[in-house]
Amino acid sequence: MASPSPIAVNLTVMALFITAVASATQAATSYVNHTVGGDAGWFFNSSANITATDYSKWAANQTFNLGDYLIFRTSSNETVFQTYNETTYKSCSADDALDSDTFQYDGGFDQLGQPLSIAVPLTIEGPNYYFSDADDGVQCQQGMAFHITVNHGLGLPPSLNQPPPPPYSEPPPPPDSSPSPLSTVGGRSNDGAVGAVADALLVIGVIISSGAGALLVI
Ligand SMILES: *[C@@H]1O[C@H](CO)[C@@H](O)[C@H](O)[C@H]1NC(C)=O
Ligand SMILES: *[C@@H]1O[C@H](CO)[C@@H](O)[C@H](O)[C@H]1NC(C)=O
Ligand SMILES: *[C@@H]1O[C@H](CO)[C@@H](O)[C@H](O)[C@H]1NC(C)=O
Ligand SMILES: *[C@@H]1O[C@H](CO)[C@@H](O)[C@H](O)[C@H]1NC(C)=O
Ligand SMILES: *[C@@H]1O[C@H](CO)[C@@H](O)[C@H](O)[C@H]1NC(C)=O
Ligand SMILES: *[C@@H]1O[C@H](CO)[C@@H](O)[C@H](O)[C@H]1NC(C)=O
């Protein structure tokens, strides 16, 4: 039996290498909805002063990618704050938070105990922080808080991918407001500054042309 040619061996090695690299980088194959806390949900028992589960432990055992959602199965006794600011997260309060980096996802219920399901899309790579500020921060201090790291994965799906703002373009001049200097020659325009400049240019032009005329005469 003929042994395989060196070229065939090389091709096989290359194919195996490409397959290995592809499977190592192809971690995310679809977008995932993560129910926060699993079956326990996002709940705090105020009489026992404890969270329904250990949210940091829950978060540590998942992989999060752009375009995934966090689904908070919760009630109006808790709140859902998302922040990109570690200082805000550690303070357990949104009182000093900036509108640009901290968002409240809430039903806005007045009554306690109303069931809520809140879907939070993951749209920014890197650290994302979550907490409930309810009960004057006690819930958060008692563990209603967790942080995650969002990986690139498949990138944002079109439904979450906001187009960049359009490039700036000079607004068109309003009609009739700045007539060309030619039309102001011989009379005051309604625009004093433009008219004055045009008049000055006219005077300079007259001086130059009369000077030239004088030179010609001499
Ligand atoms: C994930 O949650 C979002 C928001 O509620 C929803 O639009 C989407 O259909 C859900 N995806 C899956 C796979 O359940
Ligand atoms: C809250 O904790 C108290 C005391 O441990 C317990 O009796 C009660 O059933 C808990 N409430 C809920 C909704 O789990
Ligand atoms: C809950 O724990 C906090 C400490 O984080 C404490 O200040 C508060 O008094 C406790 N509340 C109850 C009802 O035990
Ligand atoms: C971590 O998640 C896997 C499934 O993704 C599960 O089998 C395992 O029990 C979880 N571990 C903990 C400590 O929750
Ligand atoms: C984080 O938020 C605090 C207010 O809680 C603010 O003073 C600080 O500038 C913010 N940090 C960043 C990096 O925006
Ligand atoms: C919400 O809070 C109220 C008042 O503390 C309590 O009676 C009720 O059991 C809580 N509901 C849930 C779902 O935790």
Residue 85: the pLDDT is 97
Number of domains in the chain: 2
Residues 62 and 140 in one domain: yes
Which of residues 150 and 113 earns the better pLDDT score? 150
Residue 109: the pLDDT is 73
Mean pLDDT of 71-81: 96
Residues 145 and 47 in one domain: yes
* Structural domain of 199: 181-217
Mean pLDDT of 193-216: 41
* pLDDT 10s digits, 136-147: 999 999 999 999
8: enclosing H helix or E strand: helix 6-25
76: Cβ below 6 Å to ligand 6? no
Residues 95 and 142 in one domain: yes
Of 76-85, 125-134, 195-204, the least confident: 195-204
Question: How far, in Å, from the CA of 134 to the mean position of ligand 4?
Answer: 29
Q: Is 113 a domain residue?
A: yes
Residues 80 and 188 in one domain: no
**Do the beta carbons of residue 69 and residue 122 sit within 8 Å?**
yes
Residues 192 and 129 in one domain: no
pLDDT exceeds 90 at position 213:
no
| Percent residues over pLDDT 90 in the chain | 56
Residues 34 and 77 in one domain: yes
Question: How far, in Å, from the CA of 33 to the mean position of ligand 1?
Answer: 6
Q: Is 12 a domain residue?
A: no
Please give the number of the atom of ligand 5 that sits closest to the Cα of 85: 1
Residues 47 and 91 in one domain: yes
- Ranges of H-type helices in 31-180: 55-60, 86-91, 138-141
The three-state (H, E, C) secondary structure of 77-101, written as one string: CCCEEEECCHHHHHHCCCCCCCCCC
* pTM value > 0.85: no
CB atoms near residue 117 (< 10 Å): 12
Residues 52 and 130 in one domain: yes
Q: Is 176 a domain residue?
A: no
d(CA 2, CA 24): 34
* pLDDT 10s digits, 150-200: 999 999 999 998 766 566 666 666 666 555 444 444 334 444 444 444 444
Identify the nearest ligand to the CA of 141 by its number. Answer: 3
pLDDT exceeds 70 at position 8:
no
Residues 102 and 198 in one domain: no
